[in-house]
Amino acid sequence: MSDTHTTKHHGSELIEVKLDVSQLDIGMYVKELDRPWLQTPFMFQGFRITTDRELQQLKSVCKYVIVEVEKHYWFSYQKHRLNEKSQEAPTKKPVISEPINRALPEAKALYDKADIEIHSILNKVKKAEDIDIEPIQETVNGFVKSVVSNPNALLWLTRIKERDEYTAEHCLRVAIMAIAFGRHLGLSDSELSLVGMCGMLHDVGKMVIPNEVLNKPGRLTAEEFEIMKSHAAKGGELLEDQSGLDPCIVTVARHHHERLDGMGYPAKLKAENISLYTRIVSIVDAYDAISSERCYKKATTPAEALKILYDNRGSQFDADLLQHFILMVGIVPTGSIVELNNGQVGIVLANNTEYKLKPKVLLVRDEHKKPQQERIINLAKSPTALDGTPLEISQALSNGSFGVNILDYTKPREFPHLTEFDWL
């Protein structure tokens, strides 16, 4: 079943959509349940929700259902939800329940396990073998749990990038950032799991692109670029054959390179036909791709990557979503090594959505670049240097600068002089 398979009904295109029961509304036509009909109080197999009582009954006995809706209505509904989430996001600040020093080792173990699994899946796709989705789904559910308790731990790990492992690690990073972005927007846990799966599998089509095109160090010819672009449609085809996979995941794989102005590929969809999950993954995918080093280009800084996305708001990317993505990720992302204006070196622990250039920083090197007793400062609270100068970030540094490796801080460590309150 896929929402790309449509039927005509009195001139309208109908699509089937798998929905969490929390998303149901009166007026929707329920085609299938997640359990046998005889185990429910409903008389008919297939019915339109007409009363609040039916709505509450569905919510009490099911986790999800399959609804049949008009395609035009569905995309309007998704856009409406997108606008609601965008308006709610600034006022609904999620609570961090686990300090990052505790969350990091757990997140690293989860990330390493996911790295093995995504490599396995991509290798099977390359060999045209059947793939098992269940392990990846379990890992994504683990990502959701970690991000809900403290998104900064897994976001820290997205700063670790290996050029030669781009596609697999890119999928992991997009999944993590998409989940964190969804958390920022106020999506439910089930929605976070779905957007994470969309991110994890969005680029599977690249596994059937010839290596000489996929990893070409120079500029692609026009013919090679067409071959590269085919990964989106091929990814959709590959996932369409997977039983039990949410149709939304297939849609995102196929359409994550569409643009709001209709100039994307493969279907040249316009804004009204691009779903919420596709818009989210498109932003995250582009951000990670632009800020990563590849065999054919140097990485741009996160700030430069955000500027490129911002310059394409409205035409390529959803402007409202992009604004909130910038608030979430920050100009200097979590896990970045930075130098302050007094010479001290630290690692960004968490961003401040109100003051994008004033994150919370773990200081690890003193003014002379010597190891110091770690301490945490919140630049949003305007701390000062010894001479009274307000501290601020002067530049972002590459991993390994002055002997600081962010991987070292993902291992269990004792910080007896710091309380859990300092880390939150």
**CA–CA separation, 182 vs 279, rounded Å?**
11
pLDDT for the residue 1: 29
User: 105-142: per-residue pLDDT in tens?
Assistant: 999 999 999 999 999 999 999 888 888 889 999 999 99
**CA–CA separation, 212 vs 384, rounded Å?**
53
pLDDT for the residue 119: 93
pLDDT for the residue 272: 80
Q: Locate the domains of the chain by residue range.
A: 7-81, 100-329, 337-423
Answer whether residue 7 shows pLDDT above 50.
no
How does residue 218 score in pLDDT terms, banded at 50, 70 and 90? confident
How does residue 417 score in pLDDT terms, banded at 50, 70 and 90? confident
Per-residue pLDDT, averaged over 268-280, amounts to 90
Per-residue pLDDT, averaged over 352-378, amounts to 92
Answer whether residue 294 shows pLDDT above 60.
yes
Q: How is domain 100-329 classified at the CATH fold level?
A: Hypothetical protein af1432 (1.10.3210)
User: 374-395: per-residue pLDDT in tens?
Assistant: 999 999 999 998 889 999 999 9
User: 61-70: per-residue pLDDT in tens?
Assistant: 898 888 988 7
Answer whether residue 10 shows pLDDT above 50.
no
pLDDT for the residue 4: 33
Answer whether residue 281 shows pLDDT above 50.
yes
pLDDT for the residue 92: 55
Interaxial angle between packed helices 166-185 and 100-126, expressed in degrees from 0 to 180 and rounded to the nearest 10: 130
- The tokens describing 47, both together, are 């019915």
pTM: 0.81
Per-residue pLDDT, averaged over 164-172, amounts to 87
Sign, CA torsion 210/216/220/221: negative
